[in-house]
Structure 1
């Protein structure tokens, strides 16, 4: 409904936004063609494009030249201030996350040496592979984790089950381009923008118990941090070329 004095394009933008939020146009789906929408709303293309520009500015849609207008995919939030498994962190935010185990077995780790557990997983969000993650756990914990269903059990939870409690982690996150080793799992071309997270997790006694590398699609994740006087330490560093 158009309120008195309200520009027509704003009413159209509000109506389209309501349909997006209601799921009439699901995340990632295409909106009808502009001529179809302008006819449905009984406005000119110029008015319709003003409405679409507002939705684009609000982050609800993405316009791709030559392809059309698409509903923006939902974004995951990677919270720097938490020490939980990635899947648990995302589920707490209300997201449905599916874990696909690519492989799990004993191998030689670059950090921990022989007899380590190498766990390779893909995280799917809204049906889309979004994170390719490889984790290493050293002996003697590695053998005790063989047989765990990591599609259903988080690695930190599995460690807790064998008496290993995690205390802290050191993590570096940097922008990068998708490499061949991950593109087959994330179904995106090499060179796609990604974040690369490299995290080492330590137990209460200070021993490193997980070495983790996650490749995260750049358009699927937002990185968030809550800052407090003593709550989170962040170091920013540039790279030299």
Structure 2
């Protein structure tokens, strides 16, 4: 019996996927309008939309109501087992990361933070940009050392700056939870309030158990995927509830 012809929408999806993978349509770019694509492929809008639905299911595109269809941006892997700076971790993955410092100076932290790192403390507020877009808004409170006030944190990672003054980080306790964007984070990340995000709260310690950093990172949900290495022995995550996970592993300083 002759082979049944491949559905037209699948062939269109395969062609568009190939163009995405080869960079014809770069990550984050807009695809042509649906009517333009349907005319180019000589199919109805219904057939084209089947192809786009397949690409969406595969995570290759994102359809935004009223705006159009966009190639999905590449994802940053947030590695729970890493105790390195975010920038170093992402450079190893082949990504370019730009750090913008919003503010840096001594201040009075909130009482729960002061209980960890003392008061006054260094308040370091940063925005991490990836693939040309802001992806992480991070506020770090650091046990105050005068030498840190002169560090250029656009170029130097916080952990590296601590190491330079003889403070070696040894471990971190971290909680990651889903939330929605609000307040200053919405402004700095350029996304509307209510956008899905991950919120990381963590405390970093030295070898002797002294807390040196307490910070919060707000991470755009669509920009990150969280990865963890699991072993047959040893607890890597404790589940706090039906939808909440608490991780006691690596931070993103």
Pair in the same fold by TM > 0.5: yes
Q: Is the 8 A contact 1:226 1:232 kept in 2?
A: no
Q: How does 1:1-241 map to 2 (within 5 A)?
A: 5-110=5-110, 111=114, 112-139=117-144, 142-230=145-233, 233-238=236-241
Cα distance, 1:161 vs structure 2 = 1.2
Larger relative contact order (CA 8 Å, sep ≥ 6): 2
Q: TM-score, normalised by structure 1?
A: 0.90
Q: TM-score, normalised by structure 2?
A: 0.86
Q: Structure 1 CA distance, aligned partners of 2:210 and 2:118?
A: 15
Cα distance, 1:4 vs structure 2 = 8.9
Moved more, 36-45 or 53-62: 36-45
Q: Secondary structure at the match of 1:106?
A: strand
Q: Structure 1 CA distance, aligned partners of 2:106 and 2:64?
A: 45
Cα distance, 1:239 vs structure 2 = 8.1
Q: Secondary structure at the match of 1:89?
A: helix
- The two structures, once aligned, show a CA RMSD in angstroms of 2.0
CA separation of 1:233/1:56 partners in 2, compared to 1, >3 Å: closer, same or farther? Answer: same
Cα distance, 1:44 vs structure 2 = 2.8
Deviations 1:11-38 (A, max 9, x none): 2212111211222222222211222112
Q: Structure 2 CA distance, aligned partners of 1:18 and 1:32?
A: 15
Q: Secondary structure at the match of 1:109?
A: coil
Q: Structure 2 CA distance, aligned partners of 1:179 and 1:36?
A: 37
Q: Structure 1 CA distance, aligned partners of 2:149 and 2:234?
A: 36
Deviations 1:149-171 (A, max 9, x none): 11011101111111111111000
